[in-house]
Amino acid sequence: MHEESFLFTSESVSEGHPDKVCDRVSDAVVDTFLTHDPEARVAVETLSTTNRIVLAGEVRGPAEVTPDLIEQVARSAVKDIGYEQDGFHWNTMDVSNYIHEQSVDIAVGVDAAGNKDEGAGDQGIMFGYACRETEVLMPAPIFLAHNILKSLAEARHSGAEPGLGPDAKSQVTLEYRDEMPVRATSVVVSTQHAEDLDQDAIREIVRPHVVNVLPEGWMCDEHEFYVNPTGRFVIGGPDGDAGLTGRKIIVDTYGGAAPHGGGAFSGKDPTKVDRSAAYAARYLAKNVVAAELADRCTIQLSYAIGVAKPLSVYVNTHGTEKVDFTRLPALLGQNMDLSPRGIREHLGLNKPIYARTAAYGHFGRAPDPDGGFSWERTDLVPSLKAAFGA
């Protein structure tokens, strides 16, 4: 390999991974509250284990969202993923609900009142990132790892591969030359499967999904293609391993190619800057790269609970800038109000658009007509280019 070469690896997990089951249930609860009241406040965590779901957290919302409705939402989410197994079944699992009213001490800091604008729901730092490695301006390893699992899930849901189970993981290692990926050096896929399928059979089921996702000529050597390395993966999902909301934050973002502030997204309404400001940071970073102002861009935002304006806006273009990048923090602030309210209004976040984000990444997805993945738009490109005379 060249001196400029290096290897980088990212992993993804499927919608049926125990932690992702929890993310999906928590976000389905968020969507339910926002459907009934766009101003609802939700912070809901989920635990999953053998035939059991446990919900806990704080909410402020309409009386129509009853405990019975929340239980129905949880069961529907698990059913949609595809769990109908002895150890975890949407219809027979126990659902325990410990959700309660939001603390008034939090509410008083967040709510707008008099001359006070709505404040951040918590302190914290959030990062956004974009690069030119893929058409969607995402790092290639995580983008490919997600798409392998999405392809397998589509085959399972369609009935084309009935031997596959909902739980799966992938890992892709790419070789980089001169900062750009050129090929896969190893691929790992572990997928839950039916009792009557052996490792060789699963390997051949998985193979075309990997080959079709990787760019032509990128497939790794055969001895570096690992499928179910332990040889057996029949017991999976929450029956095999307990799950928790928010435990796959690197899978949710950039696969380790960029910093993460530490806060999870799922289960939180958009007043929580852990979620909304991370979306805003990705939106701004993506627009900087899409406007060809830089080939890579990292943005950090920071907030204090109850305070509307961000405490800091940091922009790093990693030496790839084509313009005076010192102008970017002020310019981005002129193009988007980075208060919690401003972010929600600019990106239209007070909508039930979050269950779909719970698997295969929150970033690098196509914007939906109903406002989902609005942070993936590149509508700031004209104004950013104009600011630099482009």
One domain for residues 146 and 181: yes
Give the span between the Cα atoms of 259 and 125, in whole angstroms. Answer: 10
- Does any domain span residue 110? no
Residue 109 pLDDT class (50, 70, 90 cuts)? low
- What percentage of the chain has pLDDT greater than the value 90? 91
Task: Say if CB 202 and CB 193 are below 8 A apart.
Answer: yes
Q: List the structure tokens of 130.
A: 């974009």
Confidence band for 61, pLDDT divided at 50, 70 and 90: very high
pLDDT interval class at 38 (50, 70, 90)? very high
Determine which one of 11, 161, 274, 321 is catalytic.
274
Q: Is 70 exceeded by the pLDDT of residue 244?
A: yes
Known catalytic residue at 105: no
pLDDT-derived band at 1 (thresholds 50, 70, 90) equals: very low
Q: What is the pLDDT of residue 108?
A: 58
User: Is 169 in the active site?
Assistant: yes
**Domain-located, residue 315:** yes
Q: Are residues 174 and 199 in the same domain?
A: yes
Tell me whether residue 224 is in a domain. Answer: yes
Whether 106 is in a domain gets the answer no
Whether residue 317 sits in one domain with residue 377: yes
Q: Would you call 220 helix, strand, or coil by DSSP?
A: coil
Q: Is the alpha carbon torsion for 231, 167, 257, 377 positive or negative?
A: positive
Q: Write out pLDDT tens, residues 204-228.
A: 999 999 999 999 999 999 999 999 9
Specify whether 288 is located in the same domain as 364.
yes
Q: Given pLDDT bands bounded at 50, 70 and 90, which one contains residue 334?
A: very high
Residue 241 annotated among the catalytic residues of the structure: yes
The one-character DSSP state at 64 is: T
End of a domain among 212, 236, 260?
A: 236
- Percentage, residues of the chain above pLDDT 70: 95
Among 175, 208, 236, residue at a domain's last position: 236
Is 351 annotated in some ligand binding site?
Answer: no
Question: Do residues 279 and 336 both lie within one domain?
Answer: yes
Give yes or no: 286 in active site.
no
Does 359 belong to an annotated binding site? no
Tell me, yes or no, if 247 is annotated catalytic.
Answer: yes
Looking at the fold, whether 292 and 347 belong to one and the same domain comes out as: yes
The answer to whether position 56 is within a domain reads no
Average pLDDT over residues 124-140: 97
Same domain for 199 and 281, yes or no, is no
Same structural domain, 308 and 206? no
Q: Which of 248, 282, 344, 362 is catalytic?
A: 248
Q: Each residue of 19-31: pLDDT tens digit?
A: 999 999 999 999 9
Catalytic residue among 242, 260, 385, 387: 242
The confidence band for 262, taking pLDDT boundaries of 50, 70 and 90, is confident
Return the CATH number at 175.
Answer: 3.30.300.10
Which of 181, 216, 236 is the last residue before a domain boundary? 236
For the chain, give the mean pLDDT: 94
Q: Is the pLDDT of residue 198 over 80?
A: yes
pTM of the model: 0.95
Is there a single domain that holds both residue 280 and residue 381?
Answer: yes
Q: Are 22 and 251 in contact (CB under 8 A)?
A: no
46 found inside a domain: no
> Is 75 among the residues known to form the active site?
no
Give the per-residue pLDDT at 2. Answer: 46
Q: Are 150 and 128 in a shared domain? A: no
Q: Is residue 107 part of a domain?
A: no
Give the total number of structural domains in the chain: 2
CA-CA distance, 385 to 115, in Å (whole number)? 35
Is pLDDT above 70 for 17? yes
**Is position 346 annotated in a ligand binding site?**
no
State yes or no: 116 annotated in a binding site. no
Q: What is the mean pLDDT of residues 177-192?
A: 97
378 in a structural domain: yes
Q: Give dist(CA 64, CA 377) in Å, integer.
A: 33
Same domain, 172 and 128: no
274 is catalytic: yes
How many CA atoms within 13 Å lie on the side-chain side of 152? 34
Catalytic residue among 156, 209, 268, 286: 268
Of residues 106 and 42, more confidently modeled: 42
Quick one: angle between helices 199-213 and 140-158, nearest 10? 120
- What confidence score (pLDDT) does residue 112 get? 56
Residues 155 and 194 in one domain: yes
With contact defined as beta carbons under 8 Å apart, do 109 and 307 qualify?
no
Alpha carbon 267 to chain centroid distance? Answer: 12
Is 178 among the residues known to form the active site? no
For residue 3, what pLDDT band results from cuts at 50, 70 and 90?
low
Q: Count Cβ atoms within 10 A of the Cβ of residue 241 and give its class: 0-12 exposed, 13-18 middle, 19 or more buried.
A: middle
Active site residue 8: no
The whole domain housing 289 covers 124-132+273-387
